[in-house]
Structure 1
Amino acid sequence: LKWWRLWPRKESISTPDWTNWQAYALHVPFTFLFVLLLWLEAIRSRDIQHTADVLLICLTTTALGGKMINIWKYAHVAQGILFEWSTWDLFELRSKQEVVMWRFEHRRFNRVIMFYCLCSVGVIPLIVIQPLFDIPNRLPFWMWTPFDWQQPVLFWYAFIYQVTTIPIICICNVTMDVVNWYLMLHLSLCLRMLGQRLSKFQHDDKDLREKFLELVHLHQRLKQQAQDLPGFAAMMQYLVAMIMQVMLPTIYGNAVIDSANMLTDSLYNSDWPDMNSRMRRLVLMFMVYLNRPVTLKAGGFFHIGLPLFTKTMNQAYSLLALL
């Protein structure tokens, strides 16, 4: 994200950074100008089929522009969360079981992301090279230009512009999605780690009350982070992105919900019956508090989980059948 000028320049900021001129220098002539040219082509077109072909990529790139502005505005929120995860003692792994869980889930996440990146980047050569074999030559995507790009000499100006812009748009889109999914994955692992620590409580532990209150504080921080994450994640992708872009965030969002729902069982499995009456009262109060669900919301309206994925696919198919 730093390489593509999507991440703030400063290491720690508390407000949106709108002074990054390097970001504007990269994305205004490529990303935002490309979106504008696509919309001009769609508006000026008089053929419905041609307009539909242009809108296919136009809506996707417009959503990317929205996500880009969103990440510029809320990147400081994600930075603050990452700073807590990397510096707070509460988030340090304290047992072999936690380390094994962490490594396993990260290896699986790496495999999924590598497959997703290869599929996304692998499409670029096919998009760029195939039009060169058409006679007459055509651009990978239709866009409006102030000159007649169908002329043999002028064609290469528009073609080189798209060859430069398409990889930038693709990689920015992939990296922004991946960082959103990783934040949700990490949050779900922190909740699972909290559940493991709750289940290991014994009535004869030293400093039992202090350890319990420490985990209560950890849960409060995780719940606050779960409320902060949807502001950072660009949720326009749920309307216009492809199936994989919708499915992966719902999977990791569902993992956050499942991990939070298991905390009550984890605490119940601890050695709480043999604790003193004061500790049992604290445990009972915290178990009642844990019954409040921890969920991620897209734009404050939709719960991010597998039900959202099935609902999105169902409504998309219904709209397709209606058309």
Structure 2
Amino acid sequence: MRETSASVLGTRIGIARVLMRLLQILGLWPMWQARQQSSTSTRCRIWLTRYYRYLLHAPLTFTYNTLMWIEALTRWERADHILYISITEVGMMALTLNFWRLDKRAWHFMHELSYSDRLALRNKAERQWWRKQQRFFARVVVCYIGGGAGVLVTAFGATLHMSGYYLPYDYWLPFEWHNAQNYWYAYGYEVIAMSLTCISNVTMDMILCYYLFHVALLYKLIGMRLMALQQLHEPLAVQQLMNIIELHKRVKRLTAQCESLVSVPILVQIVLSAFILCLCAYRLQSMQISENPGQFLAMLQFASVLTLQIFLPCYFANEITINSDALTTCVYNSSWEEFSPSTRKQMNLYMELLKRPAHIKAGNFFLVGLPVFTKVAAMI
């Protein structure tokens, strides 16, 4: 039995629905549904919905990063304390601008994954397997976002236990804040700005990984259906094969759409994260653990999250390649030799289409996969 109700269809994307809602709150996902449902809303509310993203990020994300770079350029003696987080913020702003640029394309992509009848799960076994895979990704999301939040808690908590007036991450201010009167203004602004940028960054990372994860699952689903052909009589098997070929064409198109959404962000992430990890390694070597154990722990957590930021998209992109490459084996294992010559000919033609497995490229420069992560790790 195919999925029928909208509520069941919507569960196809699992935790991604929560991520999209969070991105909407963070001003990084379209609010079209809210605009369409509020046709009787006031002009002020419509204006606020349209410009909410800029009102949120202009005074916090972009202003905060500008102040950090002013501090880095005017205080070279502390550049190693500032540059690693400043470059991280640049990467986050690049992702933000890319999300705004491709928001319509991303919305349509996720809408098709959620509600397209062509991508519907057919039976109970497929739905149970799908829910199991979605739960796995939900655990990845919780661990990754929890790791990012842990960096903030450790860094800001450690600063409060230091004697004197210090900020976890230095940034320029037009007034003297090394005193009891002004310190909490500087500290409070940084807590808000850094929390926004951190949550935005890790959530964007996870939705990008989900694009790759979902496409990889679709290739795995095709393989499962190919293997199931051996249990069917030939007339029904031929019909199912035609459906599988149509599904494969659609998934190939979705793969191209996915690549257009993740190509530039993954390129930026891999290049910048590798450079930032080098800066982190340099600073960890120069830090005295006994002087500030909290900041040392925060730096270790930060380096761990950055490593995951490179590994996760490489892993899920690699799954696309593996699952699509395994389809030829699935055809061979479908007892195709027992079918009639005309059916075998159709299956041979289909296998010709499977000779080139799907790949995800980062900015048309290199293929994204575990070999890239291995090379980056070796350089660091």
Unmatched segments (≥5 aa) in structure 2: 1-22, 35-48, 274-305
What is the one-letter code of the residue matched to 1:183?
Answer: Y
Following superposition of structure 1 onto structure 2, how do residues 216-231 of structure 1 map, counting pairs within 5 Å?
Answer: 216-231=245-260
Shift, 1:54, TM fit:
0.6
Larger helix proportion, structure 1 or 2?
Answer: 2
Task: Name the residue aligned to 1:175.
Answer: 203
Shift, 1:239, TM fit:
2.0
Task: Name the residue aligned to 1:238.
Answer: 270
Matches of 1:127 and 1:3 in 2, distance apart? 25
Residue 136 of structure 1 aligns to a residue whose secondary structure is coil
Task: Name the residue aligned to 1:68.
Answer: 96
Superposed CA offset, 1:81-105 (max 9, x none) = 2222222222111133322321222
Matches of 1:211 and 1:95 in 2, distance apart? 14
Matches of 2:210 and 2:234 in 1, distance apart? 34
Shift, 1:273, TM fit:
2.1
Residue 287 of structure 1 aligns to a residue whose secondary structure is helix
Matches of 2:355 and 2:117 in 1, distance apart? 26
1:133 equivalent among 152, 161, 182:
161
Matches of 2:102 and 2:210 in 1, distance apart? 16
Contact 1:75–1:232, Cα closer than 8 Å, also in 2: no
Give the fraction of aligned pairs with identical amino acids, expressed as a percent. 31
Distance 1:8 1:213, change over 3 A: same
Count of residue correspondences: 308
Shift, 1:136, TM fit:
2.1
Task: Name the residue aligned to 2:63.
Answer: 33
Residue 146 of structure 1 aligns to a residue whose secondary structure is coil
Following superposition of structure 1 onto structure 2, how do residues 19-58 of structure 1 map, counting pairs within 5 Å?
Answer: 20-47=50-77, 50-58=78-86
Residue 92 of structure 2 aligns to a residue whose secondary structure is helix
Task: Name the residue aligned to 1:285.
Answer: 349
What is the one-letter code of the residue matched to 1:7?
Answer: W
What is the one-letter code of the residue matched to 1:67?
Answer: L
1:7 aligns with 2:71: no
Shift, 1:207, TM fit:
4.9
Residue 293 of structure 1 aligns to a residue whose secondary structure is coil
Superposed CA offset, 1:51-98 (max 9, x none) = 121101000011000011111112322222222222222211113332
What TM-score do you get using the length of structure 1 for normalisation? 0.89
Higher relative contact order (CA 8 A, sep 6+): 2
Shift, 1:294, TM fit:
0.2
Shift, 1:310, TM fit:
0.3
Shift, 1:11, TM fit:
4.4
Residue 200 of structure 1 aligns to a residue whose secondary structure is helix
What is the one-letter code of the residue matched to 1:53?
Answer: H
What is the one-letter code of the residue matched to 1:283?
Answer: M
Matches of 2:249 and 2:364 in 1, distance apart? 20
Shift, 1:23, TM fit:
0.3
Matches of 1:112 and 1:7 in 2, distance apart? 21
What is the one-letter code of the residue matched to 2:318?
Answer: N
Contact 2:165–2:179, Cα closer than 8 Å, also in 1: no
Matches of 1:149 and 1:302 in 2, distance apart? 46
What is the one-letter code of the residue matched to 2:181?
Answer: V
What TM-score do you get using the length of structure 2 for normalisation? 0.76
Following superposition of structure 1 onto structure 2, how do residues 187-266 of structure 1 map, counting pairs within 5 Å?
Answer: 187-202=215-230, 204-233=233-262, 234-235=265-266, 236-241=268-273, 242-266=306-330
Unmatched segments (≥5 aa) in structure 1: 13-18, 318-323
Matches of 2:128 and 2:198 in 1, distance apart? 34
